[in-house]
Amino acid sequence: MKRRVVVTGVGAVTGYGFGADALWAGLVSGRSAVRPVEWTGWESAPVQVAAPVPEKISGNGWRNLQMARIALREALGKKRPQGAGGLAAAIGWPGPEEKKGEDPLGILAREFSLTGPREESLAACAASTQVIGEALRLVREGEADWMVAGGADGRVHPGGLLGYDRLGALARGYRERPAEACRPFGREKNGFVVGEGAAFLVLEEKSRAEKRGAKIYAEICGAAEGCDAFRITDPGEDAVEAAFCVESCVEDAGMRAGEVDAVVCHGTGTPKNDRAEARALRQVFGERQPWVNAPKARIGHLSMACGAVESVIAVLSLRENCLPCTVTESWTEDAECPVRMVRAPGVKGVRSVLKPSFGFGGQNACLLFRQG
């Protein structure tokens, strides 16, 4: 019998500020963390909005490493688990103006005395989802007592915005209406907004967590990964591999598709990605579609860290028994991307939440959480 694994700590840094509580409060408030870019000389640039962390960040190393450190510290909390903990992470590289860094996982492992297994991924936007899945397997199979898993990334700098814009991936304009810029699965969707942040989750074998009286946020019960093997920047159009990844994840959890209540979608707001994701969900869930939300509309796209932050949202949704709305009142469904989008004020009765991520390179990863 598989060992069961639970989430006993979460930490986040996002456009809503420091802390998982700030993230949740921001989401349920209906506010957006997307705002106009205020850089000098940027007035005529095509991309006018982003979702930076509003608080001043200080510490050793480059910004992504600093954000990782803050989220990781919060996740470990006041009383960390006993035994050798491992680290699984996807940490973005330094920005163009920053000093080059070395081995972020080594730095974090040393600072937090994480002497257990170490896993790393650079699988683009699926990276942190993938490492959380790896961490689940290590704890489930007894190779680690516990793991802390997640990621940190952000490209809120001119090079980041212009680079994504050249790929045609970003929403242009919207300076006067930043909250409307990213419209996952909606009409008039025209790209994503660049965000930044970090998130980590502590994964621990269930009986050990119960024995030490740890707070259990949720159970992490399934993980899967795969690859479209199609194009670098486009998802497979038939979504067969994306659907297979989601199905494998549900199967890994020992559940049936009909038992999945909700999905915290990858939902970038780019036409091809949304179409493929909606198609994958349709293939897996058929007529009984679970509720979905798409946090990138509110906090931007955190590149390699998006899956970790969205996993924290999934876990908090289970804790609060509510899937929050992430789109504005003006959002309208696109018939080409039919999904069961949560509208304000959110949906109650959430017992299981799926977290898929679909990255450049056709890299797919998926996690499943349920009430612990």
Residues annotated as catalytic are 125, 266, 301
CB of 53 to other proteins, least distance (A): 10
Torsion of CA 252, 253, 256, 257, to 10 degrees: -80
Q: Name which of 268, 274, 328 is nearest 302 in CA terms.
A: 268
Rule CB under 8 A: is residue 77 a binding residue for other proteins?
Answer: yes
* Residue with smaller CB distance to other proteins, 11 or 133: 11
CB of 288 to other proteins, least distance (A): 39
CB of 14 to other proteins, least distance (A): 13
Listed as own residue / partner, the contacts of 328-336 with beta carbons closer than 8 Å and 24 or more positions apart are 328/32, 328/179, 328/180, 328/297, 330/180, 331/183, 331/186, 332/186, 332/187, 333/185, 333/186, 333/187, 334/185, 334/186, 334/187, 334/189, 334/274, 336/271, 336/275, 336/278
Residues 356 and 366: beta-carbon distance below 8 Å? yes
Region from 16-24, 240-248, 256-264, 323-331 binding other proteins, contact rule CB under 8 A: 16-24
In order of 57, 148, 177, 180, 203, the CA distances from 174 in angstroms are: 27, 37, 5, 7, 39
Q: Are strands 5-14 and 218-227 parallel, antiparallel or unpaired?
A: antiparallel
* Residue with smaller CB distance to other proteins, 29 or 330: 29
CB of 9 to other proteins, least distance (A): 12
Residues 168-187 close enough to bind other proteins by CB under 8 A: none
Count the residues of the shown chain that bind other proteins, applying the rule CB under 8 A: 18
* Residue with smaller CB distance to other proteins, 19 or 356: 19
Residues 22-61 close enough to bind other proteins by CB under 8 A: 22, 55-60
CB of 123 to other proteins, least distance (A): 27
Rule CB under 8 A: is residue 110 a binding residue for other proteins?
Answer: no
Q: Which residues pair with 194 in a beta bridge?
A: 301
**Burial class of residue 248 (count of CB atoms within 10 Å of its CB; 0-12, 13-18, 19+):** middle
Take residue 162 and report the two structure tokens written for it. Answer: 């212009």
List the one residue from 21, 98, 165, 234 that touches other proteins (CB under 8 A): 21
List the one residue from 17, 36, 94, 117 that touches other proteins (CB under 8 A): 17
The length of the chain in residues reads 372
Give the C-alpha separation, 154 to 170, whole Å: 14
Structure-token match 């910004």, residue found: 63
* Residue with smaller CB distance to other proteins, 37 or 70: 70
CB of 13 to other proteins, least distance (A): 9
Rule CB under 8 A: is residue 113 a binding residue for other proteins?
Answer: no
Q: Are strands 291-293 and 262-264 parallel, antiparallel or unpaired?
A: parallel
Rule CB under 8 A: is residue 73 a binding residue for other proteins?
Answer: yes
Rule CB under 8 A: is residue 277 a binding residue for other proteins?
Answer: no
Residue 91: which residues within 8 A CB-CB, separation 6 or more? 64, 65, 68, 104, 105, 108, 151, 152, 153, 304
Region from 12-20, 98-106, 274-282, 327-335 binding other proteins, contact rule CB under 8 A: 12-20
CB of 57 to other proteins, least distance (A): 5
Measured at the CA of 361, the angle between CA 357 and CA 364, to 5 degrees, comes to: 25
Rule CB under 8 A: is residue 64 a binding residue for other proteins?
Answer: no
List the one residue from 69, 208, 279, 296 that touches other proteins (CB under 8 A): 69
Rule CB under 8 A: is residue 18 a binding residue for other proteins?
Answer: yes
| The residue type at 42 | W
List the one residue from 7, 33, 49, 70 that touches other proteins (CB under 8 A): 70
| The residue type at 38 | E
* Residue with smaller CB distance to other proteins, 69 or 157: 69
Region from 32-40, 65-73, 238-246, 265-273 binding other proteins, contact rule CB under 8 A: 65-73
Four-residue CA torsion sign, 350, 209, 120, 98:
positive
Q: Give me the residues that bind other proteins (CB under 8 A), please.
A: 17-19, 21-22, 55-60, 66, 69-70, 73-74, 77-78
